[in-house]
Amino acid sequence: QNHVFIGRKNMKVLFVNSSKIESIQNRTFNGLSSLQILYLDNNLIRQLNGFEFEHLAHLRELYLHNNLITFISNLTLLPLHSLEILRLDGNRLATFPVWQLTLNSYLVEISLGNNQWSCRCKFLQELQIWVSDNRHKVIDSDEIWCLSNDTKPP
């Protein structure tokens, strides 16, 4: 168990960007019940397996851009009911089902560009539909492309 944030329940903003973080343990941020903004950008995070952000019900902004993220569990973002801004751009995501984010009615801005989205027909079709339907939220739709096995990232 990680207890590093116990006793910091009034913290509103946390900057741990550019800190060479490679992974986040489940419930790492447990003691931060009032946290509203979390900067985890420009780190070395590869995966989010499900319960990293549990108990962050008041989190409004989550910055995960410019990491090495290839996998985000379907459970990872579910507890973030108040999330308004989500940055996932500049990672290595290929198949994260972004359409699940529709469940969050507060989300007003999301960045998904500069990832390695799959060109598989079914996934690409759903991604295109979701981005099109949410073009008012997706602020970097011109930076979203898919990569097949024989394509190199731009």
Domain that includes residue 65, residue range: 1-154
Whether the pLDDT of residue 152 is over 80: the answer is no
Whether the pLDDT of residue 4 is over 90: the answer is no
What percent of the chain clears pLDDT 70, i.e. is strictly above it? 92
Whether the pLDDT of residue 150 is over 90: the answer is no
Strand partners, 146: 117
Rounded CA-CA distance 128/101 in Å is 14
Split into its structural domains, the chain has a count of: 1
What percent of the chain clears pLDDT 90, i.e. is strictly above it? 71
pLDDT in tens, 89-113: 999 999 999 988 888 889 999 999 9
pLDDT at 121: 84
Whether the pLDDT of residue 1 is over 60: the answer is no
Rounded CA-CA distance 3/130 in Å is 38
Torsion angles phi and psi, residue 109, rounded to 5 = -150, 130
Task: Write the CATH number for 30.
Answer: 3.80.10.10
Rounded CA-CA distance 99/26 in Å is 24
pTM: 0.91
In angstroms, the Cα distances linking 17 to 13, 62, 107 are: 12, 11, 22
What residue type is assigned to position 73 of the chain? S
For the residues 125-139, what does the mean pLDDT come to? 95
pLDDT in tens, 28-76: 898 899 999 999 999 999 999 999 999 899 999 999 999 999 999 989 9
Torsion angles phi and psi, residue 39, rounded to 5 = -100, 110
SS3 14: strand
pLDDT at 147: 85
Q: How confident is the model at residue 5 (pLDDT cuts 50, 70, 90)?
A: confident
SS3 130: helix
pLDDT at 122: 86
